[in-house]
Structure 1
Amino acid sequence: MANIIKKTAPTLIFIFGGSGDLNHRKLTPALYNLYVDGFLNDKFSIVGLGRSAYSDKKFRDHLLEGIKQFSRRPDDGKGPWKEFQEHVSYLQMDAGTESEYALLDKKIKETEKAWGEKPSVLFYLSVAPNLFPVIAKGVATIPAAHDEQNARIVIEKPFGHDLQSALELNALLAGLFKEDQIYRIDHYLGKETVQNILALRFANTLFEPIWNNKYIDHVQITAAETVGVEDRGGYYETSGALRDMIQNHILQVLCMVAMEAPVSFEANEIRNKKTDVLKALRRYTKDEVKENAVRGQYGAGWMKGEQVHSYREEKNVAPNSNIDTYAAVKFHIDNWRWQGVPFYVRTGKYLQDKTTMITIHFKQAPKYAFPPEAVDAWRPNRLTLTIQPQNDVRLLFQAKHPGQTMSLDPVEMVF
């Protein structure tokens, strides 16, 4: 296979919220994997930013725990991590104080002098949404942030808490940076199986011809967790399951399952195809919402042999909170491909299994050619894409049970 590794340019990465959960679980493990795979330039630097007091060593030790737990290449500190950590440092700053951004300007200039060339600079906002406007304005005071070729600002989800706040944030960013500099990121799309959806659909003539309402009965998308909100009660009180998972992660996945074939994999083309799906989603009236959506909240009880608190007993949660920790919605896409095919999506805390999967349920094949005893275990064909905990694709179909009689059993092909 041809070598397709393309190394990045020399890059300086500032991670706001560097000591936070997202960086610990997702960002640094992802950057570490890129380093091990050989995608990062030899000249790169990752600077965690936050108000907490960390030394470089303490910060690196904290991130190493995330590598051990969440990287696809766990490292005990004796492998590639030893070299990788030399590129990682921590800078304590108050993102709400404009004068503190001079520290970042100084760091950029020091890096340029040390490397002997101008670095690409990435400002990654892994923080609470209410800090996006404050940090964006602060970053805009840094001269290097206005280098259209070499500076980027990345905004993590959630992008606002409603339509009005999202529009206001967009307007603010547009007034501070060029559109090509702004990246609105849903880290969920980095998962291998999510990226594989488009390859599975459009690189195989086996699936695309039957990817429509003539052959598909319904689609299910499930994101289930076996834990509660843990130490994220304060955040969850401002979001809930519907905002935390369905309106971003799950809708992105739904769009990739339902979109039309793109003419290229250029970012704007993929975005436009996704937008067409969102435009076709049926809007419900208030009365219809009750028939097509449900929300719930976990109570106290037992989970896998351990007694657990109710949501209202969690830290930083109001004792009379009505925030949802479970949400399910039945979507309809009113276009030619998907007319009449319901999309069922669900997500929740403290559910039986930790799993995220997409299941395509095909329509039932006619049974009249087979004797009644042959179809006792009959199951419609089913294609399942598992995103986590493992990454796999499963195809369920019928096959004859070995023997003299015509008896059918469902079998599964896994890859």
Structure 2
Amino acid sequence: MSFDLVLFGGTGDLAWRKLLPALFQAFRHGSLPPQGRIIGVARDALSDGDYRALIARRFADVEGEKRPSDEEFERFAALLQYQRMDLSQPEDYALLARRLHERHADTVVMYLATAPALFTTVCEQLGAAGLATPATRVVLEKPLGHDLASNRAINAAVRSVFDERQIFRIDHYLGKPSVQNLLALRFGNALFEPLWRRETVASIEITMAEQLGVEQRGAFYDQTGALRDMVQNHALQLLCAIAMEPPINAHADAIRDEKLKVLRSLSTWTPATLLRDVVRGQYSTGTTACEGVRAYADEDGVAPGSTTETFVALRTEIANWRWAGVPFYIRTGKRLAAREAHIAINFRPTPHAIYRTPLGAANRLVIHLQPRDGLALHLFAAGQEKRGMRISEAQALAPVQLDLDFDQRFGSQRVGAYERLLLDVIAGRLNLFVRADEQEAAWHWVEPIMQAWAEQDARGEGPRPYAAGSWGPSAASALVAREGHTWMEEC
């Protein structure tokens, strides 16, 4: 199968840091169809050779086994071409069309690694240039809009040119091997299904923590914030994977139909729950472990007096028969104590305790997403009895852990998130991509939070400060503690 992949934003940060390394790994693994061509598009005046040299310099920063040898890169570079384009000029699209029509590839992928404000313009120009053919697929990076209205406007504009089956809205979390294993855990094994419900689950925690701050993205992040950047997309997609009903089959729309039901079942926000169940934070100067770290307000590109949140913790419920009454806690933030992403399913205690268990301990299934990829099942077992031990001590249980590290089990050369997603785009598989109605349902759910924060800002009630290197504002611990729960690191 032949393919052309046109990479709009071909000299940008996302292209050289994520997309081109992922395409190289697919090439190295033999997964990339051999009759392929990758065309970088940007405003810079570069030749094909200049572009290859630019990417070679970028690849020199890659560390470890993922760094290509000179011979490997030379073979990969043969796929790379470049075209200078002004994305607002129709004549530049005509030149691109002429280049693509040279060989009529079986599949043409238009990857829009640009600012979302350009999505509408690019898609309209592609349509006008005759480049929106049945063989064309368009990939849209997040964020797709900044609220529900802008999301609907972008989707409407894109759908005026492309059919829904041609639109691949990418969320790289869905390509992570650990998320694929989450779906396999749920729907490929009979062991957990009887336990996956309100009668046995006490609470569910989704944590996505970063140690880094905004780095060089201050201006972008100040217009986005943690709610738009992480909760509206990544966190809610993980929640859907945890809470969805088994689909009737593994086809894309069957899976996405079930995810949509979850999003539409999320508890509706009220003024009381917005005040009680949502914590907004912004990092200040660091703890001892983060001495010298600047506060968010002092980062380059951040507006003076900014109230943009760098931390969100919230509690919600799913109003259906399987999950009614079970609290779902979501937490994400920058400059936290560790780089850690996980989902913790906390089970209810036994109905009648005949053994003593450690205070606050519980059976728990933890799905680790990063930096490690695996599963840990927390159980209790009888400790080894010793001579002279009192009867009460012999009846006490000790926590034990069954740990599965997927990298050790399956090897370190597993397919990365962007590699998997790019190969799925080329193959036309939509399972791991987000449908328009999913996105709209997610925006509809987070919009009351944004509106409540705007009202708080008008009253001078900004985000709660937290020290860089901590786990966020103390109010986040209080959020879960009032129902007798704790975040996983507090157990």
**1:285 alignment partner, one of 255, 259, 270:** 270
- 2:182–2:241 Cα contact (<8 Å) kept: yes
1:123 corresponds in structure 2 to: 110
Over the matched positions of the two proteins, sequence identity in percent amounts to 39
1:22 corresponds in structure 2 to: 14
**1:403 alignment partner, one of 371, 374, 385:** 385
Instruction: Spell out the pairing of 1:136-155 with structure 2 (5 A cutoff).
Output: 136-143=123-130, 145-148=131-134, 150-155=135-140
Shift of 1:103: 3.0
Structure 2 distance, partners of 1:376, 1:174, is 56
Q: The residue matched to 1:344 in structure 2 has which SS?
A: strand
Structure 2 distance, partners of 1:245, 1:66, is 27
- 2:240–2:259 Cα contact (<8 Å) kept: yes
2:92 corresponds in structure 1 to: 100
AA in 2 matched with 1:128: A
AA in 1 matched with 2:385: G
1:386 corresponds in structure 2 to: 368
- 2:42–2:83 Cα contact (<8 Å) kept: yes
1:85 corresponds in structure 2 to: 77
Shift of 1:40: 1.4
* Alignment CA distance shift 1:247-1:403 (3 Å): same
Shift of 1:60: 1.6
AA in 2 matched with 1:283: T
- 1:59–1:89 Cα contact (<8 Å) kept: no
AA in 2 matched with 1:358: I
Structure 1 distance, partners of 2:378, 2:323, is 22
1:61 corresponds in structure 2 to: 56
Structure 2 distance, partners of 1:283, 1:413, is 37
Shift of 1:334: 0.5
Q: The residue matched to 1:172 in structure 2 has which SS?
A: helix
- 1:24–1:62 Cα contact (<8 Å) kept: no
- 1:68–1:76 Cα contact (<8 Å) kept: no
Structure 1 distance, partners of 2:373, 2:160, is 41
Structure 1 stretch displaced more, 183-192 or 43-52: 43-52
AA in 2 matched with 1:105: A
Q: The residue matched to 2:101 in structure 1 has which SS?
A: helix
Q: The residue matched to 1:84 in structure 2 has which SS?
A: helix
Structure 1 stretch displaced more, 83-92 or 259-268: 83-92
1:414 corresponds in structure 2 to: 403
TM-score by structure 2 length?
A: 0.76
Q: Does 1:253 align with 2:248?
A: no
Instruction: Spell out the pairing of 1:11-410 with structure 2 (5 A cutoff).
Output: 11-52=3-44, 55-65=50-60, 67-68=62-63, 73-78=65-70, 80-110=72-102, 112=103, 118-143=105-130, 145-148=131-134, 150-302=135-287, 304-366=289-351, 368-370=353-355, 374-376=356-358, 379-404=361-386, 405-410=394-399
* Alignment CA distance shift 1:68-1:283 (3 Å): same
Give the aligned CA root-mean-square deviation in angstroms.
Answer: 1.9
* Alignment CA distance shift 1:81-1:211 (3 Å): farther
- 1:217–1:362 Cα contact (<8 Å) kept: yes
Structure 1 stretch displaced more, 402-411 or 260-269: 402-411
Unaligned segments of structure 1, at least 5 residues: 1-8
Structure 1 distance, partners of 2:16, 2:69, is 15
* Alignment CA distance shift 1:395-1:53 (3 Å): farther
